[in-house]
Structure 1
Amino acid sequence: MSGRSGPFWDAVEGRSPLPRAAATLGLEFLDADVENGTIELAFTATDDFTNPSGNVLGAFLAAMLYDTVGPALLATLRPDQFQSTLELKASFLRPVRPGRIFGRGRVVHRDGDVAHLEASLLDADEAIIATATATARIIDLDRAAAAP
């Protein structure tokens, strides 16, 4: 993936820090297939993410799903583009304990400046623990900066 640039790739390749929310989730970049619009990530759910019964709160899982669908699209964009999530629908399939959680995301369809995305979170045994679909708008950073 070397040689790519833009906000996403600059963070992945260490030229800029990860966004603080992604760092809080323990986001780790594993792989991306830019041509096919897929990405693989890992997160580290800590005990700080749990409810009184010891399971990871759905809000943290939703944040991990959000940080999977967004980068699936971001990895495919030009350096002068970013994305804004318009809608995210999450489904939680089973309880999750703290530990390593894997995210797989993909661009399902892209039409102009709108993209439809999906993601899954998996545990260490590759059991799906949560899924999401999302819609995002692609933003031209130069145009957004020039807007009044």
Structure 2
Amino acid sequence: MTETTEKPLSGLELLRAMIAGKGRAPAISATLNFKAVAVEDGVVTFAGTPLEGFTNPIGTVHGGWYGAILDSCMACAILSKLPADTHYTTLEYKVNVIRPIPLGTEVTATGTAQHVGRSTGVAVGEIRDSDGRLYATGSTTCIVMQQR
């Protein structure tokens, strides 16, 4: 019997497979109506549309939706810079909501890695609509862990 071993994927390869439909997409993407749409080395873009079910008691898009899409694009920007057998998780992130996103408006959230080292990664992100209007910014720090 021959045993086959698959080569572990780098973060960039993993994200490219996910966008191509060959890898596992994060479940939160389906739950919150957003998905990864573009990936480059150090830059990842998600697109999404906030729905009625994502509003706060006053009827505007809940800050958690902004946070989830920004956390996803920023952390994935860091992932895109990681070699195979390396993992990450968010240590902290900050969101600055600039204006409310109108319900039903598709936006993109783009994360850009600023630093990825052996133990931490730092990235920033922005949410914009198709006209380039800025809705929110964010920043994150992730811990980088070597798989043993």
Please indicate the TM-score interval, normalised by the length of the shorter structure: 0.7 to 0.9
Identity %: 26
Secondary structure of 2:33's partner?
coil
Corresponding residue to 2:19 among 12, 28, 31: 12
Matches of 2:34 and 2:89, distance apart in 1: 19
Give the aligned partner of residue 32 of structure 2.
25
Give the aligned partner of residue 139 of structure 1.
145
Secondary structure of 2:82's partner?
coil
Q: Which runs of 5+ in 2 are unaligned?
A: 1-11
Secondary structure of 1:45's partner?
coil
Matches of 1:111 and 1:16, distance apart in 2: 25
Give the aligned partner of residue 112 of structure 1.
118
Q: What letter corresponds to residue 21 of structure 2 in structure 1?
A: G
Post-superposition, which runs of at least 4 consecutive aligned residues in structure 1 deviate over 3 A? Answer: none
Secondary structure of 2:49's partner?
strand
Whether contact under 8 Å (1:54, 1:97) holds in the other structure is no
Rg larger for: 2
Q: What letter corresponds to residue 80 of structure 2 in structure 1?
A: A
Matches of 1:68 and 1:15, distance apart in 2: 19
Deviation at 1:79, TM superposition (A): 3.0
| TM-score, length basis structure 2 | 0.81
Corresponding residue to 1:46 among 47, 51, 54: 51
Instruction: Tell me whether 72-81 or 112-121 shows the greater mean CA deviation.
Output: 72-81
Give the aligned partner of residue 146 of structure 1.
none
Matches of 1:5 and 1:111, distance apart in 2: 19
Matches of 1:14 and 1:92, distance apart in 2: 31
Q: Which runs of 5+ in 1 are unaligned?
A: 144-148
Matches of 1:17 and 1:112, distance apart in 2: 25
| TM-score, length basis structure 1 | 0.81
Secondary structure of 1:62's partner?
helix
Matches of 1:79 and 1:24, distance apart in 2: 28
Deviation at 1:104, TM superposition (A): 1.0
| RMSD over aligned Cα atoms | 1.8
